[in-house]
Amino acid sequence: MIVLGLETSCDETAAAVVTCDAETGAGLILGEAVLSQVAEHKPFGGIVPEVAARAHLTHLDALIHKAMSDAQVGFGDLTAVAATGGPGLIGGVMVGVMTAKAIASVHQIPFLAVNHLEGHALTARLTNQVEFPFLLLLVSGGHCQLLVAEGVNQYRRWGTTVDDAAGEAFDKVAKMLGLGYPGGPAIEAAAKTGNAKRFAFARPMKGKPGCDFSFSGLKTAVRQTAEQLPPGPFQPQDVADLAASFQAAAVESVADRVKRAAQRFKDEYPDGKALVVSGGVAANTALRAMLQNTCDKLGLDFVAPPLKLCTDNAVMIAWAGLERLRKGLTDTMDFKPRPRWPLDPTAAPKHGAGVKA
């Protein structure tokens, strides 16, 4: 099987072609192309949905051509075409879905609407052949969730953010400190020369029952602390210390939530062997180190995809489409793009980022 995948849910426009070994089922990336929109959004300090949608519309066709050219395949070689069907910025999602539907219709191949979160969830099965069930930490600019992946299209959500997502907090703190956009890499870079113990920020939700997250209060604490510094431009060391202190608090908070979920996972899923982390914030090296240490103590394998496959990409959409295709989970042409699309529709609705039903 050869699947073309399209990703247009946020500020990356991407196309990729993947296949799998007929005997082992192992995945193989044949071709991929990604165009980041960071330059377009940087003047605004964040993502502007209308700008993102227009950029997707302008560049997607060329990226499809490049990915297929690199893969040395034509449309006649494709088994199916997959596109992010949600969740995401609806204008961008519509661009990818309509393009995929057109390709599927013209070439008479199956169309697959992929949940963007499932794309992140299944990436570790492409890169590391992780077996179900596994514990999943999905942590990005729009989402922060802990789930158990029981199988393709089978997820149990144990925790989610009750306010902001982790990546959103990183972006907004970076903007407060004048570090620019995107905030995650900027905070991590500034924190390298900072004193993480200078500012004693609370660790949100640490020690509390359950597996939910919260970052709004931490973000507010950083703003209040910054406002108490001497008037005038921030001094470089103050910025570094604030970044380091914020990052330490956020990472420690996430690690506490993951530890609780991992202990429950070992009790309820004795056959489960791995914690998988995915999403843009999964590229943070301090977070990875903390999670690796947590897994070592609890006897779980720690799996994080390569950095370029943690952020939004089309490889994960093509692979998730292929996994769904193997299960016979195709979609019809009346599929409607979804700005919200929970992985676990049975979980109680909450109003944090990325979890509204």
Domain check: are 15 and 94 in the same one? yes
Question: How do strand 274-278 and strand 134-139 relate by DSSP bridges?
Answer: parallel
More confident residue, 26 or 214: 214
**What is the domain count for the chain?**
2
Domain check: are 142 and 116 in the same one? no
3-state helix, strand, coil in the chain (%, to 5): 45, 20, 35
Is 249 within a domain? yes
Instruction: Report the alpha-carbon distance of residue 352 to residue 143 in Å, rounded.
Output: 8
Give the lowest-confidence range in 151-160, 301-310, 322-331.
301-310
Is 344 within a domain? no
Is 255 within a domain? yes
How confident is the model at residue 50, as a pLDDT? 83
Is the backbone peptide bond immediately before 204 cis, with ω within 30 degrees of 0? no
Domain check: are 144 and 274 in the same one? yes
Is 84 within a domain? yes
Residue 250 binned pLDDT confidence (cut-offs 50, 70, 90):
very high
Domain check: are 317 and 298 in the same one? no
Is 348 within a domain? no
Nearest to 253, CA basis, from 131, 146, 120, 118: 146
| 62-100 tens-digit pLDDT | 999 999 999 999 999 999 999 999 999 999 999 999 999
Distances (CA, A) of 23 to 17, 20, 123: 19, 9, 20
What does the pLDDT average to over 21-43? Answer: 85
Q: Report the amino acid identity of residue 42.
A: K
Is 87 within a domain? yes
Is 38 within a domain? yes
Domain check: are 244 and 312 in the same one? no
pLDDT at residue 353 greater than cutoff 70: no
Burial (Cβ within 10 Å: 0-12, 13-18, ≥19) of residue 185: middle
Instruction: Report the alpha-carbon distance of residue 68 to residue 179 in Å, rounded.
Output: 37
How confident is the model at residue 355, as a pLDDT? 46
Domain check: are 65 and 180 in the same one? no
Domain check: are 70 and 34 in the same one? yes
How confident is the model at residue 38, as a pLDDT? 73
Domain check: are 38 and 59 in the same one? yes
Domain check: are 152 and 292 in the same one? yes
Domain check: are 150 and 299 in the same one? yes
On average, the pLDDT of the chain sits at: 93
What does the pLDDT average to over 300-321? Answer: 94
Residue 178: domain span? 134-304
More confident residue, 107 or 42: 107
Domain check: are 219 and 243 in the same one? yes
**Contact residues for 74 (Cβ-Cβ < 8 A; gap 6+):** 68
Tell if the pTM clears 0.75, that is, is over it. Answer: yes
Domain check: are 175 and 78 in the same one? no
pLDDT at residue 354 greater than cutoff 50: no
pLDDT at residue 314 greater than cutoff 90: yes
CATH number of the domain residue 289 falls in = 3.30.420.40
